[in-house]
Amino acid sequence: MDTAIQNKNERINLRLKSSAKNLIVRAAGCEGMTVSHFILTSALKRAEETVQEYQMMTLNEKDSKVFFDALDTPVRFNRKLTAAFKEYEERVTTG
């Protein structure tokens, strides 16, 4: 997070109601931060949480078993899968 704060070469502008601005100013004061620093650290924290939430998959025990069983089960090559591999190989090698 420190790197994002130190490299100040990008800008984000936003419009908000005066009540929202007053709340942010008050919260920044409570934290002993400037408004910009408060907004940046708050937004970065939420952004990291959001990205992590979408990158990590959490499975219950049943779903976990189904997932790992699928990984452990060898793939059976039927005609459609074999044809798809052949078509892919032809497209890749012939450009």
Model pLDDT for residues 30-72, shown as the tens digit of each residue: 999 999 999 999 999 999 999 999 998 889 999 999 999 999 9
pTM: 0.56
Residue 71 domain boundaries: 61-94
- The answer to whether residues 85 and 43 belong to one domain is no
Q: Is pLDDT of 18 > 80?
A: yes
- The answer to whether residues 48 and 68 belong to one domain is no
* Residue 75 banded pLDDT, cuts 50, 70, 90: confident
For residues 13-52, b (16+ Cβ closer than 10 Å) or e, as one string? Answer: eeeeeeeeeeeeeeebeeeeeeeeebbbbeeeeeeeeeee
- The answer to whether residues 14 and 46 belong to one domain is yes
